[in-house]
Amino acid sequence: MQIIRSTNGTPVDRLAKGSIATIGVYDGLHLGHQKLLDRVLSEARDSGLPSLVMSFEPTPQEFFSPQNPPPRLMRFGEKCQALAEYGVDVYYCANFDAEMRSLTAEAFIQKVLLDSLKVRKLIVGESFHFGLNRSGNTELLEKAAEKLNFEVLRVPGVSYEGETVSSTAVRHALSSGDLQRAAELLGRPYRMSGEVVQGKHLGRKLGFPTANVNPDRLQVAFMGIFAARVSGLGPNVLDGVASLGTRPTVNGTKPLLEVHIFDFDEEIYGEEIQVDFIEKLRDEEKFDDLDALIEQMQKDATQARDILAKLG
Q: State the Cα–Cα distance between residues 132 and 138, nearest whole angstrom.
A: 15
Let me know: does 118 contact 12? Beta carbons within 8 Å: yes
Residue 253 has pLDDT above 70, yes or no: no
Q: State the Cα–Cα distance between residues 76 and 87, nearest whole angstrom.
A: 17
Question: What is the pLDDT, as a whole number, of residue 121?
Answer: 98
Prediction pTM value: 0.91
Q: State the Cα–Cα distance between residues 74 and 216, nearest whole angstrom.
A: 10
Contacts of 76 (CB under 8 A, 6+ apart): 57, 93
- By percentage, how much of the chain surpasses pLDDT 90? 70
Contacts of 202 (CB under 8 A, 6+ apart): 250
Let me know: does 44 contact 89? Beta carbons within 8 Å: yes
Q: State the Cα–Cα distance between residues 154 and 146, nearest whole angstrom.
A: 15
Domain map of the chain by residue range?
A: 2-160, 189-311
Structure confidence at residue 134 as a pLDDT band (50, 70, 90): confident
Q: Residue 26: enclosing H or E segment and its boundaries?
A: none
3-class SS shares of the chain: helix, strand, coil, % to 5: 35, 25, 35
State the virtual CA torsion across 287, 291, 297, 303 in degrees, nearest 10. -100
Q: State the Cα–Cα distance between residues 228 and 257, nearest whole angstrom.
A: 11
**Overall fold of domain 2-160:** Rossmann fold (3.40.50)
Among left, alpha and beta (phi > 0; psi -120 to 50; other), residue 38 is alpha
Let me know: does 47 contact 40? Beta carbons within 8 Å: no
Residue 269 has pLDDT above 70, yes or no: yes
- Side chain identity at residue 253, one-letter code: T
CA proximity to 198, closest of 116, 155, 258, 138: 258
Structure confidence at residue 200 as a pLDDT band (50, 70, 90): low
Using one digit for the tens of pLDDT, what is the confidence trace for 63-109?
988 888 899 999 999 999 999 999 999 999 999 999 999 999 999 99
CATH number of 189-311, picked from 1.10.10.10, 3.90.1150.10, 3.40.50.2000, 2.40.30.30: 2.40.30.30
Question: What is the pLDDT, as a whole number, of residue 285?
Answer: 86
Tell me what the mean pLDDT of segment 181-201 comes to: 91
Identical fold, 2-160 and 189-311: no
Q: How many Cα neighbours within 13 Å face the side chain of 172?
A: 8
Let me know: does 179 contact 226? Beta carbons within 8 Å: yes
Tell me what the mean pLDDT of segment 264-274 comes to: 91
Question: What is the pLDDT, as a whole number, of residue 250?
Answer: 61
